[in-house]
Chain A
């Protein structure tokens, strides 16, 4: 039996009583990359945002089901989601560094939120996180520069570094390279491949080639349902569901 890092059980999400994710159950193994693919509006992002209770920000969203991380259900009533959210990092579609802060302050924002003020720890974390995100060489001489002056691709890698700085065990990525050029995309993909040794990654992507390149497992979603979930190679070469076959061959989506 493999040990599962994260288990999502019977997840149903509704926005204003319109159901967007229907009863999805998925298990994610530690130190793997899993891609969620499917046409726009199929509920990929809604599902991803359940995994760290990101939906708490919007009161119109209702989530049912269980998300178990290390044997604890994230949706238990007495659970403090903030503690767990700090274990699950997230990178968004559009780079969103804090515009008024420097590169250094952006990376350390999570640690400072957790009350760490020791300069040595912060310095170490900045170097370590930026190295993991493949940004260190480009910015090491200029850490006090405002984050907003970086290019789009650099900003996105800065956001990855910011998420990594609090040592999350799981990293959620919502189409992290959809707003970026091919070279930045390639760098982000390299980053993801290297991060696999450190943590478990779940990534939403529109780009099937990207899913093939970077992920160990792939899940195909359609109209809020999980159609097929398995090893990437198998899903793309020998899908069991006819709908998956149609999608991966590019007939719709």
Chain B
């Protein structure tokens, strides 16, 4: 039987379709490039006035006529809070992931659901919880005892234990990034082939030794990637930090002690953006900080992405470790 072939105008539809999907794909790329360029242009005055030393200065004076701006305390604030949060969150998350990847199916579903649910709680809720519930308990049972015993001898624990400080913010931040790290780590660990675990099991390995011999070495890169994804979230986190970190500015925000008010790049933006007058140097300093933050986040996410994707390729046997 003769079959009628598609008329050629379908090829035209094909072309239109191709253009549409390519445009949508490029849209994302264009958006990010536009963001960087726009932030750079808008923060132009600060690079002209202060130049590169904007990154290494610590002053922060917004009064017109006596303006001086430096982003260093906030860059350091972001780095310090993120590192403390990572130190707390990574071991806990990997523990959760180990547990989740080894639990019987039924309870496993509940745990996974809770992990994913925690990841979707708005950060202002964490902030409120941190401020109202966590802070008083933490101050009473941790900060005051430590400060009164060690505060005089160690700079790390000096300061006034009010609870609106770097350590409180970092702990709440850790709680917020645990779900991200735990759920990605869980997937990474589940992707370790059963044959690998059997090999260790056959040699008489205990459960812990199976992790040590078969799972961790295999999943290493992926777990680092999962942690860096969490770091990416920590760096960009705004609301909870703003509510808990105490919002110091200028040299006072340089992180020296755990019990001291600080400031991160995102929290200073949240705090000062609405107050800054539109044509002042102040606003371009804030936008400059926004640019630095964006570049930070992009780098971290690229590294995490490369590591996680690499791990998943190893699973598919496309590349060898």
* B216 → A minimal CB distance (Å): 9
Establish whether residues A159 and B199, one from each chain, have CB atoms under 8 Å apart when the complex forms: yes
Contact B220 A100 (CB under 8 A): yes
B132 within 8 A of A: no
Given contact pairs A109-B213, A148-B320, A96 touches B199 in the complex (Cβ within 8 A): yes
Given the interface pairs A100-B321, A148-B320, A148-B321, the reply to whether A113 lies near B204 with Cβ below 8 Å is: yes
B136 CB contacts on chain A under 8 angstroms = none
Q: Is the CB–CB distance between A85 and B217 below 8 Å? A: no
Contact with B along A72-108 (1 / 0, CB 8 A): 0000000000110110011010101111110000000
The number of chain A residues touching the other chain, given as a range, is: 20 to 34
* A101-B202 contact, Cβ under 8 Å, with A59-B104, A113-B209, A148-B321: no
- Nearest A residue to B210 by beta-carbon distance? A57
- Residue pair B213, A166 in contact (C-beta under 8 Å): no
Contact of A114 among B194, B204, B321 (CB under 8 A): B204
Q: Which of B198, B218, B320 meets A57, CB within 8 Å?
A: B198
Evaluate contact between B217 and A101: CB separation under 8 angstroms: yes
Q: Contact: B214 with A98, CB < 8 Å?
A: yes
CA distance A100 to B200 in the complex (A): 13
Task: Verify A100–B218 contact, CB threshold 8 A.
Answer: yes
A-side contacts of B10, CB under 8 Å: none
C-alpha gap A110/B201 in the complex (Å): 10
B197 interface residue, CB < 8 Å from A?
Answer: yes
Number of B residues, CB within 8 Å of A? 23
- Bound CA span A28–B227, Å: 50
Contact A85 B321 (CB under 8 A): no
Residues in chain B near residue A149, CB distance under 8 A: 320
Shortest CB distance A169–B (Å): 13
B27 to chain A, nearest CB (A): 40
Q: 1/0 contact trace for B172-193 toward A, CB 8 Å?
A: 0000000000000000000001
Any chain B CB within 8 A of the CB of A192?
A: no
The answer to whether B205 and A54 touch across the interface, beta carbons within 8 angstroms, is: no
CA distance A82 to B220 in the complex (A): 26
A114 to B202 Cα, complex, angstroms: 13
Bound together, the chains give a CA A113 to CA B203 distance in angstroms of: 8
Q: Is the CB of B202 within 8 A of A89?
A: yes
Check A110 against B198 for contact (C-beta < 8 Å): no
Flag A137-150 by CB within 8 Å of B: 1 or 0 each: 00000000010110
State whether B202 touches A54 (Cβ < 8 A). Answer: yes
Docked complex Cα distance between A145 and B61 (Å): 60
With contacts A86-B204, A100-B321 taken as known, whether A113 is within 8 angstroms of B199 at the C-beta atoms is no
List residues of chain A with CB within 8 A of the CB of B320.
99, 146, 148-149
The answer to whether the Cβ of A218 comes within 8 Å of any Cβ in the partner chain is no
In the bound assembly, the distance between CA atoms of A148 and B196 in angstroms comes to: 13
CA A59 to CA B213, docked complex, whole Å: 21
Pairs A-B, 5 closest by C-beta atoms: A86-B204, A96-B195, A110-B203, A100-B217, A90-B202
With A98-B200, A99-B217 already in contact, 10 other A-B pairs whose C-beta atoms are closer than 8 Å: A57-B197, A57-B201, A59-B104, A82-B205, A96-B198, A98-B213, A101-B217, A109-B203, A149-B320, A163-B202
- 25 A-B residue pairings within 8 Å (CB atoms): A52-B202, A54-B198, A82-B206, A85-B201, A85-B202, A85-B203, A90-B198, A92-B198, A96-B193, A96-B196, A96-B199, A98-B199, A98-B213, A99-B320, A100-B217, A100-B218, A100-B321, A109-B213, A110-B203, A110-B204, A113-B204, A146-B321, A148-B320, A149-B320, A163-B202
Chain A residues in the interface with B (C-beta under 8 A):
52, 54, 56-57, 59, 82-83, 85-86, 89-90, 92, 94, 96-101, 109-110, 113-114, 146, 148-149, 159, 162-163, 166
